[in-house]
Amino acid sequence: MAKNDLLGGALWEQYSKKVADRMNEPRNLGTITEEDAKAKGGKLIVADYGAESCGDAVRLYWVVDDSGRIIDSKFRSFGCGTAIASSDMMCELCLGKTVDEAVKITNIDVEMSLRDDPETPAVPGQKMHCSVMAYDVIKKAASIYKGVDMDSFESEIIVCECARVSLSTIQEVIRINDLKTVEEITDYTKAGAFCKSCIKPGGHEDREYYLVDILRDTRALMEEEKLKANANSSESGELAFADMTMVQKIKAIDKVIDANIRPMLMMDGGNMEIIDVKDSEKNIDIYIRYTGACAGCASSSTGTLYAIETVLRQKLDTSIRVMPI
């Protein structure tokens, strides 16, 4: 069957060639019996999982050897072509892995493996739930093998099933980057970029948490903490950082750096200096220069920068951004 026939007209343009190929000719479609598993010297695991939002379902077969390694993997899919392609790729990713390794495979891994190029999604956003179903059936199979509840593999509250973005991640990103719109959350985390059900009520699938509510509640908590911090400063006779003169701000920054940051840098033979502080409408930008071993260090623009910015935000003002030059 041609890709155009299977997907219908111009709609096929939204699917990768790999998806169409696996829709038409899945490599791992089939069943495995107890006799087959015994012949291969392994234990048969059969797991069923269905997606309530669309009615699709998948049955996963594993043959697991005595070391816990998956030596064969097949599937049967009851649903759309995208579910077939996602399940087929899911089986392929499981092969040769231990059960503990397989349970770490995410729907993003499945979708990325189906892309023709890294920058172009393999399926339209509204079909991303098919790869989520593949992810969930792996957890179901692993739970059967280990004799545990499948929820035990999920330690975080997942808000966006499509991109596997947790509640704590979204809250942290809003705080750290002072995000003010749902679009900014999507840019930073990919939450809401696919089926969009997690953005607000009314999507194709009901969710417990929505981005609009998380943003509202997190912003409200940030404002409450800021007001409390300013009130504490006023009671103690201290001036709020945002209300300080430029000289006072630089002195306050230096004090925090000397107490919390500089000793850490000097332990590795590095250091830093404040070059400038600039106020904008939304942020207080602190320009720094790394010296010693920190100059040119790979983590100076990632982990170290994050640590410096986090400390300054906690100690002085949540609107601070640190800009290395």
> Could you tell me the two tokens for 232?
């504490």
pLDDT at 214: 96
Could you say which of 54, 91, 162, 195 is catalytic?
A: 54
Read off the pLDDT of each residue in 34-45 and give the average, rounded to a whole number: 97
- pLDDT, averaged across the chain: 86
Q: Are 309 and 320 in contact (CB under 8 A)?
A: yes
Rounded to 5 degrees, what angle do the CA atoms 302, 307, 311 make?
Answer: 150
| Torsion sign over Cα 104, 105, 108, 113 | positive
Judge whether 91 counts as a catalytic residue.
no
- The helix or strand, by DSSP H or E, that contains position 305, with its residue range, turns out to be helix 303-315
Name, in order, each residue with C-beta under 8 angstroms of 12's C-beta and a sequence gap of 6 or more. Answer: 3, 4, 6, 20
Of 1, 59, 3, 2, give the one whose Cα is nearest residue 31: 59
pLDDT score for 47: 96
Mean pLDDT of 3-30: 77
Residue 10 pLDDT > 70: no
- Indicate whether 6 pLDDT > 50: no
| Amino acid found at 207 | R
Q: Catalytic: which of 80, 91, 94, 130? A: 130
Q: Report pLDDT for 244.
A: 86
Q: Which alpha helices (H) appear in the chain, and where do they start and end?
A: 3-7, 17-24, 34-39, 81-94, 99-102, 107-113, 129-146, 167-177, 182-189, 211-235, 246-260, 262-267, 303-315
What pLDDT, on a 0 to 100 scale, did the predictor assign at position 2?
A: 45
Q: What pLDDT score does 118 carry? A: 85
| Domains of the chain (ranges, CATH numbers) | 3-153 (3.90.1010.10), 159-223 (1.10.10), 241-324 (3.30.300.130)
Report if pTM > 0.75.
no
- At 85-143, the pLDDT tens digits run 999 999 999 999 999 999 988 878 888 899 998 888 888 776 777 777 888 899 999 99
Structure tokens at 65: 């050897």
- Dump pLDDT digits (tens) for 165-191: 889 888 988 887 788 999 999 888 888
Longest dimension (CA), the chain: 79
pLDDT of residue 38: 96
Instruction: Summarize pLDDT for 247-279 with one digit per residue, the tens.
Output: 889 889 999 999 989 988 888 888 999 999 998
pLDDT at 122: 87
**Of the candidate ranges 116-125, 286-295, 309-318, the one whose mean pLDDT is the lowest:** 116-125
Q: Which two tokens stand for residue 212?
A: 């609009």
Q: Residue range 51-63: average pLDDT?
A: 81
**80 annotated active-site:** no
Burial of 287 by CB count in 10 Å (0-12 exposed, 13-18 middle, 19+ buried)? middle
pLDDT of residue 237: 59
Q: What's the confidence (pLDDT) of residue 248?
A: 87
Between residues 20 and 152, the one the model is more confident about:
20
Q: Residue 230 — very low, low, confident or very high, per pLDDT cuts 50/70/90?
A: low
Q: In 10 A of CB 88, how many CB atoms? A: 25
Note the pLDDT of residue 52: 56
